[in-house]
Amino acid sequence: MDMKIEPINTHNRNNDRFVLTIDDDNSVYYYDNHKRDGFGLYAGDGETKFSEGKIVKKNFEDLFSKINELYNENQALKKGNEYHQILKKKFDAEEKELLGLYEVALKSGHKENARMYMDIINILGEIWQHTFQGEEYE
């Protein structure tokens, strides 16, 4: 058995704590910049493709995206008001998506669905105003 020893990526373009590396032979590694340690998740064989069911590349990418999102939120909580900014971005993104669904429902004549989306938007607004938007942020 031949062993290939190569350095793995320790940084990516987002400068994330957890870095995913997928080689041409489908080997999968991750590196934790905080602990300065990495592990192989899958020893590629050069034949198994991610799309063939054994391994799904998007699942690995989604996993690492979520891990980094949670890590960044944790760091922001430690710093105080930065977490509030992250929450605001999430609420704004959710509201934008729901407004798009509301408009599609209106244009297609589904008034009940449109009303439901507007109700959800209003509920999110109330949650934001009464739960997350305290006097210190006004």
- State the DSSP H helix or E strand holding residue 37, giving kind and residue range, or none if neither: strand 37-42
- Give residue-wise pLDDT tens across range 70-124: 888 888 777 777 777 787 888 888 899 989 989 999 899 988 888 888 888 888 8
Domain count, the chain: 2
Decide if 12 is inside a domain. no
Domain identity same for 129 and 87? yes
Taking the model in full, what pTM does it have?
A: 0.46
Decide if 44 is inside a domain. yes
- Between CA 23 and CA 62 the distance in angstroms is 17
Domain identity same for 108 and 64? no
Query: What one-character DSSP code corresponds to residue 3?
Result: -
- Give residue-wise pLDDT tens across range 9-27: 777 788 888 888 877 777 7
Quote the domain boundaries for residue 88.
Answer: 81-133
Domain identity same for 24 and 47? yes
Decide if 138 is inside a domain. no
